[in-house]
Structure 1
Amino acid sequence: MAVCNNRLIIIMGLFCLYSIKIWSQLSGGGDLNPELKVPQSAQEQWRDLKVGLSVHWGPSSLGGKEISWSRHKKIPVAQYDAFYKDFAPTEFDAREWVDLLKRWGMKYISPTAKHHDGFALWFSKWSRYDMEEAGLKLDIMQELKQACDEAGIVLGAYYSNIDWYHPDWTPNVFGGPGTLFETLPDAPNMDRYLKYMYAQCAELIEDYGVGFIQFDGEWDETYTHQMGSKMYRDLRALNENVLLSTRIDIGRRMAGKDNHIDIDGSTYAGDFQDRERLVNHGNNVTVWGDHAWQAWVTLDKKQWSFNKSPDLMTAQELILDLVQVVGNNGNYMINLGPKPNGSFPKEQVVLMNALGAWLDQYGGAIYGTRGGPYYPFQGGVSTRKGQKAWLFLWEGQESITLPKLSQPILGVVDYKSREPVTVTENKTEIVIDLKALKKEGTLQVLELRYKGSPQMQAR
């Protein structure tokens, strides 16, 4: 998990130039579909949302182990695959979820519409392994779509390219295919599976109106660049404004083992980049990017789905993590794992309430912003919007020295108290005096006004 310390800030600085060089922009359709681009307006609207919720949930929550990955390894296949019969989330209420989203400051949500285990969290015409066959027949995605639309929340969907339940996916690991699909004589058949994948994604786009799809599973060698490029082209034809994550193609896999920073924005398809912080791994995803990207992290450091004994981030860690990501020009997506009954664990609600309270106070410096105009520096990050910028500072510093921009600075105030802050400048730098400021915990937020829209510092 990202924490604020000198080593991390130095690492971010070292990687910053590398990241900009290789990801100056996302490519849309990649080298096989170079003419395909999502409209910039759709991409920018998604970036403006800034903070979203990921939800790993489904019948597997009845086992209390990790979704999909526990099948066959920790839970016998027959038991795992039968969970759907008893999956009856009687306390799920889409409007209550949306009320929580609003309280927590979330602007979008991405449920696991289909994880690697193949279960569909909606009424899918293409699968019997779905909510229509569950213990409680409830179209989760449709319920969320209606509630989100009413509240102005953007509904997306996580969709795994992999499907260990489907007989046409190869290799059939983690216990082999399930029983609700007919296994044809020529199975596994990837061409047939890819048609199935397309059909389900088309349902999510056309029938459920999702605004974006988070793909996953591109790391499996079965899935190729050609498959991903074709899937991007075919789904892009359905709705030009739907954003498709870069994991629809294999860019992340080509970055190397355990590397969650994509490497080539001109070869591989995708409209925004998911950088997943692996649980119990500590991989750093907080690296500057000029392109559309989001950090995808778990509140529980042990696993993504429901866990009876979680190891949770603290409220302070959660807020600092968000600030670092947004200051590195990304969106922040935090993941929760609801209980089998459809409610969120109380201790997680408390932490998310703290994040929501902070965003209610400081959201003006988060929503609709981009990172900068100063690249992450030792002791803080910045965001910008219009003719203003905001500094998020830690470590109890007495002053901050920053490069002088081409736009003149008109003044600095403490974001909360609105008290003016002393600024001195020379030909190349500005120095902000922090000694007179009342310290507000470990995070100080300043607001800077400029004559004109501040542009990124020169390199």
Structure 2
Amino acid sequence: MTAIQSQAFTVPDKWKWFTESRYGMFIHWGPYAQYGRGEQVLFREHLDHKEYAEQACAWNPEHYDPELWAYTARKAGFKYACFTTRHHDGYCMWDSSYTDYSSAKQAPQRDFVREYTEAFRKEGLRIGLYYSWIDWRLPAYFDGPAKDPEGWEKVRAYLHAQVKELLTNYGKIDHFFFDGVWPRNADDLQSVRLVEEMRALQPDILINNRLGYSAAHDGYRADGGVGAGDSDTLGDFGTPEHVIHAEQKRLWESCQVTTWRLWSHVIGERWRPADVLLDMLCESAEKGGGHGGNLLLNVGPTADGQLPPEFVERGLEIGRWLEVHGEAVYGTDGGSVTEFITRGRQTTRGNNLYLIIRFWDGRPDMRLADLTTRVKGVTLLTTGQELAFQQNGDELWIHGLPREAPTRLFPVIRVECEGKPEANQWGRERLWEGDPARVADWARLRGTSVFADGAER
């Protein structure tokens, strides 16, 4: 039984590293970086396949330094990484026995996957691999089993063999990210069987939900041409893309770009600022059914193998913030105990409630409504300063806040409670939610009429 099929989801011990990590680095890199127009340039601009292959085979990124990448990732606060072993263009970033269209057989003469896994593992990061089902070069993938049963079987066997090769030759793999199912489905791909074989090779592996819809498991339905093939039941974790959407019954990970739109290196792309990226991490940690979510934040290295300076600058700034405030993100249990959107976000861990302040107003006092658990102490985590507080019923006042924000990013206040932080009805039920009778009772305190004093005329 998969996690989402159960009524209540408890994170297995073997996967607790994932919720403790919260923050992963996605790496989209391949010969498409030479074009500087995104990882899907071959299809989106329907380029000539032969010319693309010639350029891919000549690609030789002499500045690829996985040890520097891994060091930068650790300093940026990432706890795991996911590397594109093969994207939709079919070029393989490892020494595959099943094709010569690879970094090992062509100009670089290097196994980029091996170098990546060894370097990132050495820095203490968990290892993830991305693999695309689709290969734009192969007609049989698009003709499918109905039109070309013999050709399709060769393609399917090739896909399965490569996945098992990746899980056999590179040590312990913690995280596996499939992508690009369209126009096939899980039954065509026999992805359920492949997952069983993957678990035999890597018993602790986390496998994502992009396995295609299955008539046996989901009831077949088209994925609307999106291509991801997200399954409602198959896979250990959900993968909302470009959005942060919580799943209640399995782990989930929002994959996001550091730029405006595209995943691989793009010349002239616009970059999101560090506070926007950090907010995505905090929102992911805040959301989710008791276990929160993860952020898989992407970088597209340059064609010659370097991390873009814009990414490094933003990544290291967030890393410095995490060195001080990491307890409000790593290993948290989800948050948003009370309504807090007017100031920022919340996370929890054990008996602690963390107030992540997106909007610092410079006032010395802050009111937190609707927290019913008794408070033992309040600390401005950013500076270590203990703050005075008063608690009257479900109203908490925090005093002594500095006028200037103590960090360029988000200050964090830790509220230590006597038990797990809990809220009253107003804290549990938010705007547009819950029983409207509570709103009517609240409004009735003012009166019942449209006049300023609420009195009937």
Q: TM-score, normalised by structure 1?
A: 0.79
Aligned-partner residue type, residue 392 of structure 1:
I
Is 1:224 the equivalent of 2:186? Answer: yes
Alignment of 1:42-81 (within 5 A): 42-71=14-43, 73=45, 75-81=47-53
2:325 corresponds to which of 362, 370, 394: 362
Q: Distance in 2 between matches of 1:374 and 1:338?
A: 39
Indicate the SS of the match to 1:247.
Answer: coil
Q: Distance in 2 between matches of 1:263 and 1:194?
A: 19
Q: Distance in 2 between matches of 1:269 and 1:96?
A: 36
* Deviation string, structure 1 residues 42-77 (Cα, Å, up to 9, x no partner): 222112111111111111111112213434625332
Give, in angstroms, the shift of residue 238 of structure 1: 2.3
Q: Number of residues paired by the alignment?
A: 406
Question: Structure 1 pair 40/133, CA: closer, same or farther in 2 (3 Å)?
Answer: same
Aligned-partner residue type, residue 404 of structure 1:
L
Alignment of 1:197-346 (within 5 A): 197-208=159-170, 209-218=172-181, 220-224=182-186, 227-250=190-213, 264=232, 268-277=233-242, 284-287=243-246, 289=248, 291-328=250-287, 329-346=292-309
Give, in angstroms, the shift of residue 363 of structure 1: 1.6
Identity of aligned residues (%): 23
The equivalent residue for 2:348 is: 384
8 Å contact kept, 2:3–2:250: no
Give, in angstroms, the shift of residue 370 of structure 1: 2.4
Question: Structure 1 pair 276/456, CA: closer, same or farther in 2 (3 Å)?
Answer: farther
Question: Structure 1 pair 269/405, CA: closer, same or farther in 2 (3 Å)?
Answer: farther
Moved more, 438-447 or 335-344: 438-447
Q: Distance in 2 between matches of 1:259 and 1:158?
A: 15
* Deviation string, structure 1 residues 206-229 (Cα, Å, up to 9, x no partner): 2113211111113x1322357333
Indicate the SS of the match to 1:214.
Answer: strand
The equivalent residue for 2:157 is: 195
Q: Which runs of 5+ in 1 are unaligned?
A: 1-26, 173-184, 278-283
1:350 corresponds to which of 313, 317, 335: 313
Aligned-partner residue type, residue 186 of structure 2:
T
Alignment RMSD (CA, Å): 3.2
Indicate the SS of the match to 1:152.
Answer: coil
Q: Distance in 2 between matches of 1:430 and 1:263?
A: 43
Q: Distance in 1 between matches of 2:228 and 2:121?
A: 32
Indicate the SS of the match to 2:193.
Answer: helix
1:140 corresponds to which of 101, 112, 118: 112
Question: Structure 1 pair 444/235, CA: closer, same or farther in 2 (3 Å)?
Answer: same
1:413 corresponds to which of 379, 384, 388: 379
Give, in angstroms, the shift of residue 93 of structure 1: 1.5
Alignment of 1:104-143 (within 5 A): 104-143=76-115
Alignment of 1:143-182 (within 5 A): 143-171=115-143
Q: Distance in 2 between matches of 1:313 and 1:53?
A: 16
Question: Structure 1 pair 49/442, CA: closer, same or farther in 2 (3 Å)?
Answer: closer
Aligned-partner residue type, residue 221 of structure 1:
P
Larger radius of gyration: 2
Alignment of 1:93-112 (within 5 A): 93-112=65-84
Q: Distance in 2 between matches of 1:39 and 1:372?
A: 17
Give, in angstroms, the shift of residue 191 of structure 1: 3.2
Indicate the SS of the match to 2:360.
Answer: coil
Aligned-partner residue type, residue 59 of structure 1:
P
Q: Distance in 2 between matches of 1:261 and 1:317?
A: 28
* Deviation string, structure 1 residues 307-357 (Cα, Å, up to 9, x no partner): 111110112222222222222221111111111111112222222222222
Q: Distance in 2 between matches of 1:186 and 1:290?
A: 38
Aligned-partner residue type, residue 375 of structure 2:
I
8 Å contact kept, 2:26–2:297: yes
Alignment of 1:13-52 (within 5 A): 28=2, 40-52=12-24
Q: Distance in 1 between matches of 2:138 and 2:231?
A: 31
8 Å contact kept, 1:300–1:312: yes
The equivalent residue for 2:433 is: none
Q: Distance in 2 between matches of 1:442 and 1:358?
A: 7
Give, in angstroms, the shift of residue 304 of structure 1: 0.8
Q: Distance in 2 between matches of 1:142 and 1:86?
A: 20
Q: TM-score, normalised by structure 2?
A: 0.79
Alignment of 1:398-409 (within 5 A): 399-406=366-373, 408-409=374-375
